[in-house]
Amino acid sequence: MILLTSVLSWTVVAIVLVGLFDLLRRRTKTVAEMVFAVFSGSLAMAVLQPELAESPGWVLAGLTIGGCATCNGYWLFARALFRGDDGVRWPQVAIAVGIASLILLNRATAAPAGSPWHTAVGALLTLASSTVLVLAFVEAVRGWADHCGAAERRLRIMFMAVYGACVLSATLIGALATTDAAWQPARRLIVVLCALSILTFSQWALRLRRQQASTNARPERITDAAPNASHATSALDLDSATAQASVFATDAGVLTELRSVAAAIDRAMTVDRLYRNPELRTADLAEHVRSTEHKVSRAISVVLGERNFNQLINRHRIACACALLADPASRIPIIDIAHTSGFASLGPFNRAFKATMGCTPSAYRASRPPAHDDRDIAGSCATR
């Protein structure tokens, strides 16, 4: 059993390394992928601690620090997996860091066994860890009624089955090992098997999300003509929505509701121009269209065909900037165009513009021929 546990432990490490190398070679990375990279690295270090128990103190200290993002890290991963990129914000990161600090503090105060500090920190850590373990499970249940697609249901059911089984198994074997030391070898084996199961399932879930994002990605790119860029901001193509919805196997009732939400989003972008608010969040848009964040995110991906909220907003902002840059009668400073289009500063504007259009804003402006339509669009954008 000890040999099998050791082999599986190093298998976990190998899988983590392969996954990290695969992530590093990707040009674009989702929040879920980045959070999973942190979690998987931490999990590998936690699994290695018993294998390297005879290592120098500095190695064990590094493994201890690195292994503090397991349950808290997987909670963040679950949020990003089921809520999208907006599911992980600084408050959630701060909570995860706080739990990691409790783990380190608990181990630092473990020397005087039974001391009040150690007992208090241990109680806090147990409460915090249990909470995030439950919250990760809840993420798969949250918004279940809005997910009628067979593929999404399977993903959520599999998440609850794999994750729930692993947490339950690790908890039960841990309780047995605490009361009887003879269970310790079995405990290590079960923990490693659970880690292997979580890693394998999570990597499959990420591949599924990438396939869905690829399916939903718009085949067209904002063209270098400002009228076409403006036309791209009217994103409600119902034929395309029907094709995308079939991928998610969304039923007619839900699809009708998502279309209604998408129409409201489209009006919010093209008429109200909410994208000009640099602090705009999914929650703000949901409140504006009188819907929920979850339904707004689904309408953006299923009906409007965008990868996520940020891609939708940036596309409208870049289209507005293109119109202003193409106006031959106006020499508005580029920094002012960035602010007018909804970017908080010049740096993010330049990066987003070049990533979308393939050139800098200055180069785009220099290449624009005079066009009456461009002036109309720029004037409309600038006066709103």
Q: Note whether 382 and 343 are within 8 A (CB).
A: no
Q: What is the pLDDT of residue 64?
A: 86
Sign of the CA dihedral 182, 184, 185, 187? positive
Contacts of 14 (CB under 8 A, 6+ apart): none
- Residue 134 CA to residue 163 CA, distance in Å, equals 10
CA–CA distance, 298 with 371 (Å, rounded to integer)? 37
**Alpha-carbon distances of 168 from 69, 93, 191, rounded to whole Å:** 19, 25, 11
The CB density around residue 187, as the number of other CB atoms within 10 Å, is 19
Element (H, E) at 209: helix 184-216
Farthest CA pair distance, the chain: 83
Which residues, including other chains, have CB under 8 Å from residue 359's CB and lie 6 or more apart?
353, 367
* Structural domains of the chain, ranges and CATH numbers in brackets: 2-216 (1.20.1070.10), 226-383 (1.10.10.60)
Residue 290: which region, alpha, beta or left (left: phi > 0; alpha: psi -120 to 50)? left
Q: How crowded is residue 184: how many other Cβ atoms within 10 Å of its Cβ?
A: 14
In sequence order, the 6+-apart residues with CB closer than 8 A to the CB of 165 are 197
Query: Cα(299)–Cα(283) distance, rounded to whole angstroms?
Result: 14
Run means of pLDDT, 10 residues per run, the chain, 384 residues: 87 92 85 92 92 86 89 93 81 92 78 66 85 91 62 86 93 87 87 93 90 53 37 40 42 74 88 88 89 88 87 91 81 87 89 88 79 40 45
Distance CA 133, CA 229 (A): 45
The tokens describing 287, both together, are: 């409140």
Question: At residue 251, what are phi and psi to the nearest 5 degrees?
Answer: -75, 170
Q: How many CB atoms lie within 10 A of CB 246?
A: 11
C-alpha 268, offset from chain centre: 24
Q: How is the chain split among helix, strand and coil, in percent rounded to 5? A: 80, 0, 20
- Angle, helices 238-248 vs 150-179, to 10°: value is 40
**Tally of CA atoms within 13 A in the half-sphere of 257 that contains its CB:** 16
Task: Enter the pTM of the model.
Answer: 0.60
The pLDDT of residue 237 is 43
Instruction: Report d(CA 198, CA 156) in Å as an integer.
Output: 14
Helix 184-216 and helix 71-83: axis angle, to 10°? 20
For residue 116, count other CB atoms closer than 10 A to its CB.
9
* CA angle 322–323–329, rounded 5-degree value: 120
